[in-house]
Amino acid sequence: MAEVVRIAIQKSGRLSEKSLQIIKNCGIKFGSDARVLKEEASNFPLEFLYVRDDDIPSYVRDGIADVGIVGRNEYDEQAIDLEVLRDLGFAKCRLSIAVPNDFVYQGLSSLEGKRIATSYPNILGGILKARGVSASFVQVSGSVEITPAVGIADAICDLVSTGATLAMNGLREVESLYTSTAVMIGRKQMASVAKQRILDRLMLRLDAVMKASS
Ligand code: PRT
Ligand code: ZN
């Protein structure tokens, strides 16, 4: 059987459309029917796996996929040792600290001893540790913005793009800690020489597409 490179792409979410578009712009043809979970391109040895973004780093690590497109935030949070092959530039957002409007914020030290709700305890923990601040984390996987209002956190650390969600929940962004964009990740060593050659061809096209749009 001829070798193919498998790429894991978010099935449905903020990364999906642009991930597919960038591959299409490489001249690669495929159906991208949202109901299928796996499909093969018709004119390039590339196979698509449509999965949840959270699963992409471990799928690549375990060899279920060869490469994947995921937010840098998700990749860094999982701390799985892979290679960032390309920064794709889309899905830009920042990971920020936000506090209720009446919270007196004078820098990260104001978080000392506070409860911070976040879905990114590893990234946040690393940053606070480096800055000598100790706080406790309330780990939530969604609706982080409501936690101060319901009394389970003093502040939050979440992704922000427009800031509208924070404003709607009576929160104020006080510090941006980290910025993220979509990245293409892969293992440090491809599973075979044939796969590496296919990936090299894909990267050539991708670089041309990114250069043309910059
Ligand atoms: O179902 P699945 O697990 O695959 O998807 P998901 O719900 O976990 O992820 P999804 O699709 O919401 O986000 C995928 C990736 O998009 C994230 O990992 C980020 O890399 C990137 N991204 C870019 C964002 C945002 N912008 C963003 N604004 N991810 C989430 N948000 C959320 C944020 O958490 C907050 O709730 O949007 C809200 C804030 O938006 P604004 O515009 O009101 O500031
Ligand atoms: Zn997810």
The pLDDT value given to residue 37: 86
Res 35: pLDDT: 72
Do 46 and 103 belong together in one domain?
no
pLDDT on residue 32: 67
d(CA 17, CA 117): 29
Q: Which of 59, 73, 159 to mutate to test ligand 1, by most ligand atoms within 8 A of the CB atom?
A: 159
DSSP 35-80: T-SEEE-SSSSEEEEEE-GGGHHHHHHTTSSSEEEEEHHHHHHHT-
List of the chain residues with pLDDT < 70: 32, 34
Torsional class of 95: left (φ above 0), alpha (ψ -120 to 50), beta (otherwise):
beta
| Structural domains of the chain, count | 2
The pair of three-digit structure tokens given for residue 53, joined into one six-digit string:
């973004």
- Counting atoms of ligand 1 from 1, which one is nearest the CA of 167? 43
Q: Is residue 98 domain-shared with residue 48, that is, in the same domain?
A: no
Are 116 and 195 found together in one domain?
Answer: no
Kindly list the protein residues that place their beta carbon closer than 5 angstroms to ligand 2, a single-atom ion: 53-54
89: left (phi over 0), alpha (psi -120 to 50) or beta: left
Same domain, 17 and 86: yes
Same domain, 158 and 185: no
- Indicate if 60 and 137 belong to the same structural domain: no
Counting from 1 in the atom list of ligand 1, the atom nearest the Cα of 161 is: 44
Is 125 found in the same domain as 106? yes
Instruction: Round to whole Å and give the CA distance between 156 and 171.
Output: 9
Domain that holds residue 110: 93-180
Q: Are residues 52 and 82 in the same domain?
A: yes
CA 154 centroid distance within chain: 26
If asked whether residues 111 and 63 sit together in one domain, one would say: no
104 and 162 together in one domain: yes
The CATH code of the domain that includes 56 is: 3.40.190.10
pLDDT given for residue 116 in this prediction: 98
Residues 6+ apart with CB under 8 A from 48: 6, 7, 9, 30, 32, 38, 39, 40, 41
Q: Do residues 84 and 130 share a domain?
A: no
Query: Is the CB of 160 within 6 Å of ligand 1?
Result: yes
- Judge if 119 and 74 occupy the same domain: no
Q: Give the DSSP per-residue string, 83-120.
A: EEEEE---S-EEEEEEEETT----SGGGGTT-EEEES-
ipTM: 0.98
